[in-house]
Structure 1
Amino acid sequence: MSLFNTPLTFKFPWRDYQGKFLDGFQEHITDNHLHVIAPPGSGKTILGLEMLLRIGKPTLVLAPTLTIRNQWRDRLVDFFEPAPANDVLSLSIKDPALLTFSSYQSLFALHRSFGENANEQLVQFIKKHNIETLVLDEAHHLKNEWWNCLFQLKGIEGLTIVSLTATPPYDSSALEINRYFELCGPIDDEIAVPDLIKNEDLCPHQDFIYFSRPDDAQIKYIVSYREQIIDFTNDLLENDTFQSFLMSLEIYQNSETSLEHIYENPSFFSSILIYLRATGHEIEPAKLNILGFKTKDVDFPSFTYEWSQCLLQEVLVNERDNFVAHESILMPIEKALRTIGVLERKKVDFIGNQDLYRNLANSPSKLKSIYEILKDTSKYLKTETRAVVLTDYIRKEFLDFKGKELSKLNKLGVVSIFHFLMAQDGFDTQVGVLTGSLIILHRTALEELRSVMPESNLRTEALDFVKDYYFINVPESGKNKIVAAVTKLFENGTINILIGTKALLGEGWDAPSINTLVLASYVGSFVSSNQMRGRAIRVDADVENKTGAIWHLACLDPTTEDGGKDMEKLKQRFQAFNGVSLNDEPYIENGLARLGLPEKLNADLDIDALNTGMLQEAQNRSVLKNRWDTAIASGNVLIRALKVPYEKEVPFRKTKRLAGLNAVKYLSVQVITGITLFLPEFMLKNFGALLNKGWLSFVYLLGSAIMVGFGPKTLKALKVYFLFGNQFKKTKKIATAVLAQLKSKNLLTTKSDALRIISEQNVNGTFMIYLEGANQHDCNLFVSLLDEIIAPIENPRYLLVGQSWIKRKLGFRSYYVVPTQFARRKEDAVQFKKHWNTHVDGSKILFTRNLEGRKHLLKARFAHMRYQFEEVSEKTVIWK
């Protein structure tokens, strides 16, 4: 089908990876849904145009900004032939044509304009104009109120939806992520960064992290915050009136008649029991039976911050209206939490409130980090330095800063970064400031700017406290021109370092010469971070063998083992980045693991050594290119895999490999060796017993001694086998059951005879499982189902219940989830159970939407605090 009377064709040859993607296009679009990840530099807009032309139906393209909307139209006119007539194209959603380019804002405005029954009228408007294809460009930009009208359109029968993005919003809330994928559908295909580098459309690049610690004032603030929480928790455990209040609640007093309430919110009921047990109260067996436990099965967890948070969120916020008679008890607790900063915006958060996070994310210690990065880069690249520092705020309050009292620069921003650099002795690299409302240039750059913009009447003002630097006042009408002019000065090397805000330079701004990017931004999501990152990884036609260094800043929380909120945010951010490993054998993968960071990022970490190593790696640019070349040559496609990390206290090398019985052998050797050494000594000491009491008594005494001395190690050997050796093998069996179900239900688009389950484990103990021979859609579906099965149990419709008494007694996981995909109908769940019994073990299926099922579901969630799969599995992307 052709959209226009005369079919349009792309003027140029398709790049290899674009051609490969288009070859599979018809296969993906059969369900009227296509979701594609296309990184910066891949020609996303051109591919989008080709797709809508191949679909051949009247189309509405929605873009996040007017600039990007116009780019769609311009690309069609410039890169396809013959040129389409003007009457078949439209930039107005109110007056659509065969091909309409608009924005999400315009769609929302149209939706609002309909007034009453807006949803129905919007749907009728789309149908009236025969729009049959909807293209969503960068749908992660959507604001909350815009989703409604898009879901109304999604409900139109027969509408084809094509979603294009460079960065799915993985670091958003679970609600936002689910909403995004509900609208856009599962990822069908992804254009691989390695392909772009191989094709020289992106340059080799590496992400680095520069670590800092809070200053003394911040450390004091954090320590005080943690100490106040400890004091509060101790006081709460000694609060007799609060204990009496909880024990007087209907849910506790009359638990048997409050089952519906308990099963609606089992975490709250559990938190009450855990709290009361921590205060020394005995918990009646009947209350534990409600949760599906026998008394001897229960291993009460400590009253941790998480349980405290769960308990107080309910009594102080969610159910507060029900406890009006107890305000004299609850109000002092609320005031104490608000004083600490734990209760804000109707949310109890002991882990770290927003003020604590901002305190670290905005730490002035990052000013020194930025300086060290730029100093080292300038020393190595000299006049070839093209560094951009992007941050969130301008911080004009620091414009009058003078001297070298750097402690006064206590907030991260454009002006504070500029002044911090200028205050450093010997730092003479050319620096420029470029924001929407503030421009600062060196005298030499200003002179060249005048020659570039001779017609402009630039008004300048010398900075009082920074020699040879000037403010530039630009009229509103000339802002676009001066941004382009300053960019040109940066491109030609008149300016080596440019400091700006992500609002101006983050999206839409382009300077191919960038070889170093410092992301001093913490407000934006990783969507905007990846767009900023895209500025530094593009090739520069004027620079042969360009490489890009992208620096992320982390201020570590010294009171935690994992580095705190900054590292948590970076971990989320890195999930979107496919990059080459920093050390050892080169491989390409997303996530933080490829940087080889220490497991613990606590106060004992030698960050100076870590930062020095990062700086050295950043300047090994020729080595970086070689690592990319080697890693790219080792594979040809991105594979979506499930990764289960090894995060035990005992090093993996000591417990040996998960793949076999080495772990149990290791401990068995210890037992056998111990007995061998122990036996002669025992016989010498007990020879008299052998003569006086006979062989039977001697053997009994020997057996007792062996059980006492070596029984615990023998039991440990058995547990190690099941927990370590069996974990890897069982995951493979579960994967086999999943694949069998997918095949039997015809849910795969790849030919079944081409599929093979691959399971691999690294020397560090982590193992991965993926589907070989499948397209991206099938890989993603397979991994998502496998992840759902072994992830912590939430609220599935059906459970698979293991029937092995021995494993239950040893504390192994005996409950697994029937994935949502297989649980919508009972017959599908039963069919999956048959595959499970064939490939995994003999489990029975359990429906959780009745009273007995809820009991089992609660037991599945709370009975074992440490499941067999206690590590959090994660979906990863690797180049194979």
Structure 2
Amino acid sequence: MNNRFRHLKFVFTWRNYQQILLENFERHLSDCHFHVVAPPGSGKTILGIEIIRKIGKKTLVLAPTLTIRNQWENRLQEFFTEYQDFKNFSFNIKEPSDITFVTYQSLHALHKSFKSLGDFTAFFEKHQIEVLVLDEAHHLKNSWWQTLMDLKNAINPYVVALTATPPYDSDRTEISKYFILCGPIDDEIAVPDLVKATDLCPHQDFIYLSKPDDLEINFIVAYRRQIADFVDVLLIDEMFKTFLIQHRFYRHTSEHLEDLYGNVEYFSSILIFLNKCGVIIPKEKLRILGFKRSETIEFPDLTLEWIQVLLQNILVNDRLTLEDQESYLKSLENELKRMSGFNNGKIDLIGETLLYKSLTKSPSKLKSIVTVVTSEYEHLNGDLRCVILTDYIRKEFCSTPNDQIQTINKIGVIPIFQYLRSHFADKQYLAVLSGSIVVIHQSIKVAVEHIAGAENFSFSEFPSDAEFLVLTPKSGTSKSAVEVLTLLFQQGDIKILVGTKSLLGEGWDAPSINSLILASFVGSFVSSNQMRGRAIRKNPLNPHKVGNIWHLACIDPTASNGGKDVETLQRRFQAFMGVSNKTFPVIENGLDRLELPKEIRAEDVETLNEITLQNSKDRSNTVNSWQVAIDSGSHLTREIKLMDLDEIPYKRQKRIYYKDMVLFFILELLLGLGLFFIEYFVKSIQVILNRGVYYFLNSLVIALMLSFGYRFYKAFQLYSHHGFLFQRIKEMGNAILDTLYELGHMTSKRQNISVIAEFSSQGQLICCLNNASRLEDALFTGALSQLLAPIETPRYLIIRTSFFKRRLDLENFYAVPEMFGDHKKRALIFQKHWNQHLGRSKLIYTRHLEGRKLLLKARLFHITNKFNEVSKEVMTWK
């Protein structure tokens, strides 16, 4: 078939990173998918049009909004035609053309308009649609996803997926569905490439912390005390202990192995709780699970997470089988509900829901916003262009008088505006822009009328301040309020704009933004990344622009890590690539790059904030850091970083690296041996003279075994489990790499690819590939992270073993990565390469009875890591 778009041609010059992506795209089309991740400002739309042009077949382009849909047609005419005269396009899905631009909603509505699925898919077959372009693919909802899957399965099209942020923080089912539709990520444009090409401005993220007020602190402390008291009572509750001892999993373990293996956490939580109560767990029960009589089992501490697992099963998942105990369970349920530890069918003893809502909506963040805006304004003065994005409008606070501003207790557009209005000196630069209310200062009324026409808007006084006007468009107005206020913001008539993320968070373009405050707590890090993209775009009128992005967090003073609000930021920062605050700056994702302390105490908040405000004023340092970091690397690399493990939440702990622990044992042994030998020799001179050297040597060996045998054994255990970690991880990586090559997943030449394992400056072990493509990087790190993660329910286990390891109880269990473990043939290929690099192993299929025994044993072996992150994938510019 002739290329339908041969007359289209890109009329400008491709950027280097765009050219590289386009050169590689054809080899990714072998599976009829091309999935691209690219940040805002990278030209995803024009890249999409060029890909459509290269494929040359009738195309359906799907966008989340009408604005973005229209941008596609605009970019096509502006960048690919000389006279903007391309006619073979359509905005009407019922009348497709060579390229049809529509929204996801339109496609879904068309789907529902047909009587049957066959009629729906036949429509596209009739019109010979052969390419689907999914723009902002992270928007795909369940209903839209199903419509697209039905269409994809019927017409087998090329699927081109474009997104700035894959929805990694969705649940596993949604992530799986997303990749089934879009295919694996084929290529990625890195933020450093765009900063280097000046398509994005240098920028930095800052975290401004706040402390809850006294009422909030009292609420948190009271909640924690209630939960602690509840746990203490439960541990001495003889009725509850008897209930667990009589539970079918414990009392008749061997008769319920099938159910038990299906819910390992439940059974584990019963054993851990009873062990904490002082109940001696019979060896027979552990032998049934695959443990030998001689093995010593060290039960983990009973944490709140384990109690949650136990109660979630007893009160929800397993309740129907416990009907004879219903009255007791009901009383337990009522007690938990009274403490807000049980809501909507979910046990929550840590306060993830209750305390998180309290902290994320804390009015202390209103004060944080005022402080940040004031600091930015004083530093930039007339150059400030600050946007504050939040979730709700909250019009009920419009009438709050000045003397009651401090009583506002909710975050929203109007509360933020009211706080700024009452605390900010130059309030004439303030404005509100949302879907249902627009507020401007009286001083720019004339400017609004000049831009839009005096007859197109009506004005009324803002209820609590006559200096401000509520702007209302009249019907038939040609220019929208968004257009007018955006222009005034660009000009500097408005310097501080408060709005909703739904209106301004995506698709809105104001290149002059140089300070963005994210006061949003609803939604995923996908939307966070989209909002952040507003501030990092280059400004053609200001080539020296530097963007500051502010994130707000209210700490939980009872949690050493800062609490749930900080944890949420940690997850969101996985989607953000940026430059670090380190002496030698690097570009990477994650919160670690900002060097926030691991433990955040309430008394340290003010000092941390002062440092943050000071750093935010040094925009030249941000520029220099980007330049140094970009020059130190050439491409984006995925790495696996092994984490430090904390076993007990909410308690301060001393962190000890495994290598330091092993080294300590060896030094202790050598020192002890030296002192022991000297002392023993001096004491035994008489023995040597009377009975001879042979008798002395025999007695020395016996004395050494008695004195140091156990220490030698413990040191050997440490070496076996944790020593040589550097070399072991590298060999694991080589086993994965060789398996990927044998299964045909790698396209780069084998001799050019190597596994790197090294310790970072912070002492963390890092493993990655050298010289691999981004897709190969993703496959490798995905497999390695699954291999190192706490064991869940893999189809195959691999056990690192030997004669001595079995005798000394030192066998190591690992989950075979999903991409190798979905079929026995592939699992055996992985085992072959494992044996070549790491020595003998056993491959265990976990779906039969013996395999499930070993699976449970493996999970108990790793049980201390159950609620901890063992490793994580990081993106680094190297």
Distance change in 2, residues 1:307/1:477 (3 Å): farther
Amino acid at match of 1:369: S
Residue 677 of structure 1: how far off its partner (Å): 5.3
Aligned to 1:758: 756
Aligned to 2:870: 872
Residue 475 of structure 1: how far off its partner (Å): 3.5
Q: Retained in 2: the 8 A contact 1:812–1:867?
A: no
User: Sequence identity of aligned pairs in percent?
Assistant: 45
> Matched residues in 1 for 2:715 and 2:426: separation?
61
Amino acid at match of 2:251: Q
Q: Retained in 2: the 8 A contact 1:138–1:164?
A: yes
Amino acid at match of 2:51: M
Matched, 1:105 2:102: no
* 463-472 or 57-66, larger mean C-alpha shift: 463-472
Amino acid at match of 2:342: L
Aligned to 1:371: 370
> Matched residues in 2 for 1:274 and 1:30: separation?
51
Residue 250 of structure 1: how far off its partner (Å): 3.3
Matched, 1:228 2:242: no
Aligned to 2:24: 24
Aligned to 2:35: 35
* 60-69 or 248-257, larger mean C-alpha shift: 248-257
Amino acid at match of 1:222: I
Amino acid at match of 1:33: H
Matched, 1:860 2:858: yes
Matched, 1:559 2:558: yes
Residue 709 of structure 1: how far off its partner (Å): 7.2
Residue 127 of structure 1: how far off its partner (Å): 2.4
Q: Retained in 1: the 8 A contact 2:787–2:817?
A: yes
Distance change in 2, residues 1:428/1:134 (3 Å): closer
Residue 823 of structure 1: how far off its partner (Å): 2.3
Matched, 1:349 2:345: no
Residue 554 of structure 1 aligns to a residue in which SS? strand
> Matched residues in 2 for 1:476 and 1:185: separation?
45
Aligned to 1:574: 573
Aligned to 2:197: 199
> Matched residues in 2 for 1:142 and 1:180: separation?
8
Distance change in 2, residues 1:724/1:752 (3 Å): same
Deviations 1:634-686 (A, max 9, x none): 1111112222234579988x869x5xxx8755543344345545666777889
Q: Retained in 2: the 8 A contact 1:297–1:863?
A: no
Residue 271 of structure 1: how far off its partner (Å): 1.9
Aligned to 1:418: 417
Q: Retained in 1: the 8 A contact 2:42–2:189?
A: yes
TM-score (norm 2): 0.93
Distance change in 2, residues 1:5/1:145 (3 Å): closer
Amino acid at match of 1:34: F
Residue 833 of structure 1 aligns to a residue in which SS? helix
> Matched residues in 2 for 1:763 and 1:105: separation?
49
Aligned to 2:826: 828
Distance change in 2, residues 1:767/1:300 (3 Å): closer
Q: Retained in 2: the 8 A contact 1:646–1:764?
A: no
Aligned to 1:408: 407
**Within-5 A mapping of 1:814-853:** 814-853=812-851
Q: Retained in 2: the 8 A contact 1:445–1:494?
A: yes
Amino acid at match of 2:26: Q
Residue 597 of structure 2 aligns to a residue in which SS? coil
Aligned to 2:9: 9
Distance change in 2, residues 1:447/1:713 (3 Å): farther
**Within-5 A mapping of 1:388-467:** 388-424=387-423, 426=425, 430-456=429-455, 458-463=457-462, 465-466=464-465
Distance change in 2, residues 1:229/1:703 (3 Å): farther
* 867-876 or 297-306, larger mean C-alpha shift: 867-876
> Matched residues in 2 for 1:416 and 1:698: separation?
86
Aligned to 2:47: 47
> Matched residues in 1 for 2:710 and 2:606: separation?
43
> Matched residues in 1 for 2:560 and 2:700: separation?
46
* 668-677 or 635-644, larger mean C-alpha shift: 668-677
> Matched residues in 2 for 1:562 and 1:812: separation?
33
Distance change in 2, residues 1:698/1:440 (3 Å): farther
Residue 735 of structure 1: how far off its partner (Å): 0.7
> Matched residues in 2 for 1:138 and 1:867: separation?
36
**Within-5 A mapping of 1:431-830:** 431-456=430-455, 458-463=457-462, 465-466=464-465, 468-475=467-474, 477-478=476-477, 481-603=480-602, 606-647=604-645, 664-665=662-663, 667-676=665-674, 717-804=715-802, 806-807=804-805, 814-830=812-828
> Matched residues in 2 for 1:372 and 1:483: separation?
27
Matched, 1:189 2:187: yes
Distance change in 2, residues 1:77/1:479 (3 Å): closer
Deviations 1:70-119 (A, max 9, x none): 2212222222136798763222222222322222112221222224x43x
Residue 867 of structure 1: how far off its partner (Å): 6.6
Matched, 1:332 2:323: no
* 301-310 or 374-383, larger mean C-alpha shift: 301-310
Amino acid at match of 2:221: V
Deviations 1:286-315 (A, max 9, x none): 322232223533222233222221122122
Residue 754 of structure 1: how far off its partner (Å): 2.5
Unmatched segments (≥5 aa) in structure 2: 647-651
Aligned to 2:649: none
Q: Retained in 2: the 8 A contact 1:789–1:816?
A: yes
Deviations 1:478-516 (A, max 9, x none): 495222111222111112111111121111211111100
Q: Retained in 2: the 8 A contact 1:797–1:848?
A: yes
Deviations 1:569-625 (A, max 9, x none): 111111111111112101111111111111222446x12221111111111111111
Distance change in 2, residues 1:608/1:705 (3 Å): farther
Amino acid at match of 2:738: A
* 438-447 or 696-705, larger mean C-alpha shift: 696-705
Deviations 1:152-209 (A, max 9, x none): 2332464211111011112222222222222212211101111111111110001111
* 460-469 or 18-27, larger mean C-alpha shift: 460-469
Residue 425 of structure 1: how far off its partner (Å): 6.9
Distance change in 2, residues 1:33/1:457 (3 Å): closer
Aligned to 1:382: 381
Q: Number of matched residues? A: 872
Residue 865 of structure 1: how far off its partner (Å): 2.8
Deviations 1:20-45 (A, max 9, x none): 11111111112211110011111101
Deviations 1:497-552 (A, max 9, x none): 11111121111211111100000000121111111111111111111311000001
Amino acid at match of 1:752: R
Distance change in 2, residues 1:655/1:816 (3 Å): closer
> Matched residues in 2 for 1:811 and 1:410: separation?
58
> Matched residues in 2 for 1:873 and 1:292: separation?
27
> Matched residues in 2 for 1:477 and 1:689: separation?
112
Of 277, 290, 293 in structure 2, the residue corresponding to residue 292 of structure 1 is: 290
> Matched residues in 2 for 1:704 and 1:869: separation?
44
> Matched residues in 2 for 1:706 and 1:602: separation?
48
> Matched residues in 2 for 1:563 and 1:805: separation?
47
Residue 633 of structure 1: how far off its partner (Å): 1.1
Distance change in 2, residues 1:669/1:261 (3 Å): closer
> Matched residues in 2 for 1:702 and 1:146: separation?
78
Residue 846 of structure 1 aligns to a residue in which SS? strand
Distance change in 2, residues 1:9/1:587 (3 Å): same
Amino acid at match of 1:159: P
Residue 9 of structure 1 aligns to a residue in which SS? coil
Q: Retained in 2: the 8 A contact 1:491–1:511?
A: yes
- RMSD between aligned alpha carbons? 3.0
> Matched residues in 2 for 1:733 and 1:177: separation?
30
> Matched residues in 1 for 2:352 and 2:644: separation?
29
Distance change in 2, residues 1:697/1:323 (3 Å): same
* 469-478 or 867-876, larger mean C-alpha shift: 867-876
TM-score (norm 1): 0.93
Residue 713 of structure 1: how far off its partner (Å): 6.1
Residue 135 of structure 1: how far off its partner (Å): 1.2
Amino acid at match of 2:802: S
Residue 258 of structure 1 aligns to a residue in which SS? helix
